């Protein structure tokens, strides 16, 4: 069983990739979070969260709204004060924020936005050069968006904008790439494209990718590791290790069911029925058929956990 | 029209228009039109106060513009930006009305401060005008990239060396300087039309930031020149022409953008490909 980091007792297997069978050996983690606790006025958002992300790995940060995903990413970026714990991240860090709203009239082409990733925070005017242009072209190519270079970013579709923002974040050759809900508001096809792209970027560029999402399913096929947040606590490991009824029940602090069907995962709450409740959930799910599954995931009751 | 005291107006007017066009690019990009409205109203109080105690208008305008900028920048960190901006606007405007009422030349003074005057730039003001203009352009050049990135998405700029709050302060300072330059000529009520109309039209016409910014300055210059000339000929206020032309630019820009979109959509394989892409995603 994977340890839930805030439970008392020793924490075996949470070091750099030691719990993950596929983690590259001997490679130093690009991100290591130990005993992270974050308090915002009036509440504890994260409690004793520990995990690490190795280069070339894609890690999903899973949790419902309010589980602390954005707070965790902000802590990694150094924008959030820590009440306790330690965050060690290799720099530079690439970052794709949540919900970037781009006005269609915005006089900024995809090429300009990617160029701003190269040195967008520096003072002074940018000087065009052949090398700079070639690098922007290369970045656009690496996210399969070369044909969008001259288009205004605000006129692109959600999936296309996400690709451009990823190219922007990759500009400074980050060791660690953080993405906050990059799959929100994307349709199925765009979701698949962005997930495949991120998986490829992790493998070919050797970047450690950490992306937050409330729906684990689009990531199941490509995710090397999962950090599951609930009630401010986290469980981490490979998907098979973490997404288990006993692990997630311990994390949530009450019984939850993990049902796998048609290559998808459903996490749902039960009342006191225990294992029998899980069977009921599975039956209900089977009855509903795979077409409605997306509406069922993520788990209801995430927020009401008794943490 | 081009002789004697009018030369000062042409020169001063050109500087203020170019600066207003450049600053305006970021005003529209950042959605800060309300601040660009409030700072001139605050500066109006300074101009009225300067007239009352007999110091140069530029000094009074500049002081109160800075006061407005500082108040908005400071209080916005603790409260809602639009509410803070509105409160700065009304409190300074109130002070302005008091200053005006204490002045003996109430009507004449108020009219030219609110609606502008083509004879507002004196020879002694040309050097400070040029210096302030150069400062403003340098400030915008220095902050160009952080401001642009922060305008596209503030979250993208948070990890940079210039924190968004500091970039915002620099931006408001540029608005304050542009206000100080333009207020005597265009008038407090209509200063911000130069910072809105030309850049709003420019972003319809130009798709890349540097081009849109340059076009904005060019349109603002043309607006100011036409307005000064028309005001000189008709004796109508400069502000009237500036306000009208700014709106005309915007409508023309929208019309051009709509027309060019339709023209692109009706011809060319690239347009069809783009449409297909749009449907697919």
Give tens-digit pLDDT for B116-158.
877 778 888 889 889 999 999 999 999 999 999 988 888 888 7
Distance of alpha carbon A274 from alpha carbon A265, whole angstroms: 18
Mutation for testing the A interface, residue in B24, B26, B28, B145 having most A CBs under 10 Å: B145
Domain residue limits at A219:
1-91+175-253
- Looking at residue A285, its pLDDT comes to 61
* Residues A77 and A140 both lie in one domain: no
Q: Determine the average pLDDT of the residues in B218-241.
A: 91
| pLDDT(B9) > 70 | yes
* Residues A83 and A199 both lie in one domain: yes
CA distance readout (Å), A159 to A106, A170, A222, B4, B152:
18, 17, 18, 61, 17
Q: Which residue segments constitute the domains of chain B, with CATH numbers given?
A: 5-280 (1.10.3470.10)
Label residue B91 by pLDDT band (50, 70, 90): very high
Residue A2: which CATH number? 3.40.50.300
Distance of alpha carbon A270 from alpha carbon A257, whole angstroms: 7
User: In angstroms, what is the C-alpha Rg of chain A?
Assistant: 20
- Considering its fold, how many domains does chain A have in total? 2
Helix (H) or strand (E) holding A173: none
* Residues A84 and A122 both lie in one domain: no
Q: With respect to residue A114, please indicate whether it lies within any of the assigned structural domains.
A: yes
The secondary structure of residue A50, as a DSSP letter, is: E
- The residue among B23, B115, B99 whose CA lies nearest residue B63 is B99
Q: In what order do the strands lie in the sheet with A208-213?
A: A93-96, A176-180, A208-213, A58-62, A225-230, A233-237
Q: With respect to residue A115, please indicate whether it lies within any of the assigned structural domains.
A: yes
By Cβ distance, the residue of B155, B159, B207 closest to A107 is B207
Which residues in chain B touch residue A144, judged by CB atoms under 8 angstroms apart?
none
| pLDDT(A293) > 50 | no
Helix (H) or strand (E) holding A48: strand A43-53
- Looking at residue A275, its pLDDT comes to 53
Q: With respect to residue A37, please indicate whether it lies within any of the assigned structural domains.
A: yes
* Residues A136 and A34 both lie in one domain: no
The last residue of a domain, from among A229, A253, A277 = A253
> Among all residues of chain A, which has the CA nearest to that of B149?
A120
Burial class (CB in 10 A: 0-12, 13-18, 19+), A124: exposed
Q: Determine the average pLDDT of the residues in B217-236.
A: 92
Looking only at the bridges linking them, the beta strands covering A43-53 and A58-62 are unpaired
Distance of alpha carbon A35 from alpha carbon A43, whole angstroms: 17
* Residues A86 and A234 both lie in one domain: yes
Say how many CB pairs under 8 Å bridge A and B.
Answer: 97
* Tens of pLDDT, residues A106-119: 999 999 999 999 87
* Residues A182 and A151 both lie in one domain: no
* Residues A66 and A143 both lie in one domain: no
Label residue A74 by pLDDT band (50, 70, 90): very high
Contact B145 A119 (CB under 8 A): yes
Bridge partners (DSSP) of residue A5 are none
Numbered residues of chain A with Cβ closer than 8 Å to any chain B Cβ: 77-79, 93, 95, 97-98, 100-102, 105-109, 112-113, 116, 119-126, 150, 152-153, 157-160, 168, 187, 189-190
Q: With respect to residue A270, please indicate whether it lies within any of the assigned structural domains.
A: no
* Residues A1 and A86 both lie in one domain: yes
Distance of alpha carbon A287 from alpha carbon A34, whole angstroms: 42
The secondary structure of residue A14, as a DSSP letter, is: -
Contact A116, A148 (CB under 8 A): no
Q: Determine the average pLDDT of the residues in B3-17.
A: 86
CB atoms within 10 A of CB A103: 17
Numbered residues of chain B with Cβ closer than 8 Å to any chain A Cβ: 29, 141-146, 148-149, 152-153, 155-162, 202-204, 206-209, 211-212, 277-278, 280-281
* Residues A2 and A85 both lie in one domain: yes
Q: What phi, psi does A92 have (nearest 5°)?
A: -75, 155
Contact B155 A97 (CB under 8 A): yes
Q: How far is B6 from chain A (nearest CA, A)?
A: 35
* Residues A18 and A81 both lie in one domain: yes
ipTM for the predicted complex comes to: 0.84
Q: With respect to residue A102, please indicate whether it lies within any of the assigned structural domains.
A: no
The last residue of a domain, from among A253, A270, A301 = A253
Which residues in chain B touch residue A113, judged by CB atoms under 8 angstroms apart?
152
> Among all residues of chain A, which has the CA nearest to that of B152?
A102
| pLDDT(A282) > 80 | no
The last residue of a domain, from among A215, A231, A253 = A253
Bridge partners (DSSP) of residue A87 are A33
Q: How far is B162 from chain A (nearest CA, A)?
A: 7
Q: Show the DSSP H helices in chain B as ranges.
A: 5-29, 33-53, 57-76, 81-102, 106-115, 123-152, 154-157, 164-186, 191-205, 209-234, 238-266, 269-280
- The residue among A37, A43, A41, A35 whose CA lies nearest residue A3 is A35
- Looking at residue A14, its pLDDT comes to 39
- The residue among B244, B208, B253 whose CA lies nearest residue B224 is B244
Per-residue b or e along A250-261, where b marks 16 or more CB atoms closer than 10 Å to that residue's CB: bbbebbbbbbee
Contact A121 B157 (CB under 8 A): yes
Q: How far is B138 from chain A (nearest CA, A)?
A: 9
Structure-block tokens of residue B173: 């300072």
Q: With respect to residue A263, please indicate whether it lies within any of the assigned structural domains.
A: no
Residue bearing the bigger pLDDT, B152 or A229: A229
* Residues A66 and A184 both lie in one domain: yes
* Residues A5 and A133 both lie in one domain: no
- The residue among A171, A15, A197, A183 whose CA lies nearest residue A93 is A171
Label residue A280 by pLDDT band (50, 70, 90): low
Q: With respect to residue A192, please indicate whether it lies within any of the assigned structural domains.
A: yes
Q: How far is B101 from chain A (nearest CA, A)?
A: 44
> Among all residues of chain B, which has the CA nearest to that of A180?
B155
Q: With respect to residue A58, please indicate whether it lies within any of the assigned structural domains.
A: yes
* Tens of pLDDT, residues A179-194: 999 999 899 999 999 9
Contact B146 A123 (CB under 8 A): yes
């Amino acid at each position: 069983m994977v340890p839930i980091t805030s439970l008392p007792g020793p924490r075996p297997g949470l070091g750099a990739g030691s719990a993950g069978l596929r983690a590259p050996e001997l490679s130093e983690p690009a991100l290591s979070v130990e005993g992270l606790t974050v308090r915002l006025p009036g509440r504890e958002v994260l409690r004793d969260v520990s995990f690490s992300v190795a280069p070339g790995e894609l890690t999903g940060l899973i949790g419902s709204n309010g589980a602390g995903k954005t707070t965790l990413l902000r802590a990694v970026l150094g924008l959030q004060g820590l009440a306790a714990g330690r965050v060690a991240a290799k720099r530079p860090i690439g970052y794709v924020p949540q919900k970037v709203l781009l006005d269609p009239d915005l006089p900024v082409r995809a090429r300009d936005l990617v160029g701003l990733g190269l040195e967008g925070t520096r003072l002074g005017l940018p000087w065009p050069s052949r090398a700079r242009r070639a690098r922007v072209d290369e970045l656009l190519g690496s996210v399969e968006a070369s044909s969008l270079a001259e288009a205004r970013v605000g006129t692109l579709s959600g999936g296309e904008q996400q690709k451009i923002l990823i190219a922007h974040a990759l500009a400074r050759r980050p060791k660690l790439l953080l993405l906050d809900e990059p799959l929100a508001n994307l349709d199925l096809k765009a979701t698949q494209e962005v997930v495949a792209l991120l998986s490829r970027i992790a493998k070919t560029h050797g970047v450690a990718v950490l992306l937050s999402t409330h729906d684990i399913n689009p990531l199941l096929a490509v995710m090397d590791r999962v950090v599951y947040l609930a009630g401010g606590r986290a469980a981490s490991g490979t998907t098979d290790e973490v997404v288990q009824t006993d692990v997630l029940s311990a994390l949530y602090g009450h019984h939850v069911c993990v049902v796998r069907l048609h290559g998808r995962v459903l996490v749902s709450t039960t009342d006191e029925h225990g294992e029998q409740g899980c069977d009921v959930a599975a039956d209900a799910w089977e009855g509903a058929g795979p077409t409605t599954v997306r509406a069922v995931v993520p788990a209801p009751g995430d927020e009401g956990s008794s943490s | 029209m081009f002789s004697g005291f009018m030369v000062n107006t042409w020169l001063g007017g050109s500087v203020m228009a170019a600066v207003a066009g450049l600053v305006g690019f970021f005003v529209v990009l950042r959605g800060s039109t309300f601040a660009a409205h409030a700072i001139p109203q605050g500066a109006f109080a300074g101009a009225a106060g300067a007239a009352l105690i007999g110091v140069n208008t530029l000094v009074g305008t500049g002081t109160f513009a800075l006061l407005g900028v500082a108040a908005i920048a400071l209080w916005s960190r603790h409260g809602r930006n639009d509410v803070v901006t509105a409160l700065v606007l009304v409190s300074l405007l109130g002070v302005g009305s008091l200053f005006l009422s204490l002045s003996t030349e109430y009507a004449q003074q108020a009219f030219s401060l609110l609606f502008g005057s083509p004879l507002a730039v004196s020879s002694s003001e040309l050097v400070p005008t040029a210096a302030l203009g150069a400062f403003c352009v340098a400030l915008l050049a220095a902050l160009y990239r952080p401001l642009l990135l922060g305008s596209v998405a503030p979250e993208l700029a948070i990890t940079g060396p210039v924190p968004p709050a500091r970039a915002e302060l620099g931006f408001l300072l540029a608005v304050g300087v542009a206000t100080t330059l333009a207020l005597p000529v265009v008038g407090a009520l209509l200063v911000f039309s130069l910072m809105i109309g030309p850049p709003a039209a420019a972003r319809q016409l130009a798709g890349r930031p540097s081009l849109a910014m340059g076009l904005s300055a060019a349109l603002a210059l043309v607006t100011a020149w036409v307005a000064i000339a028309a005001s000189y000929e008709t004796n109508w206020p400069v502000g009237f022409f500036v306000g009208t032309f700014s709106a005309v630019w915007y409508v023309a820009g929208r019309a051009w953008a709509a027309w060019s979109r339709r023209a692109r959509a009706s011809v060319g394989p690239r347009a069809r490909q783009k449409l297909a892409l749009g449907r697919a995603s």
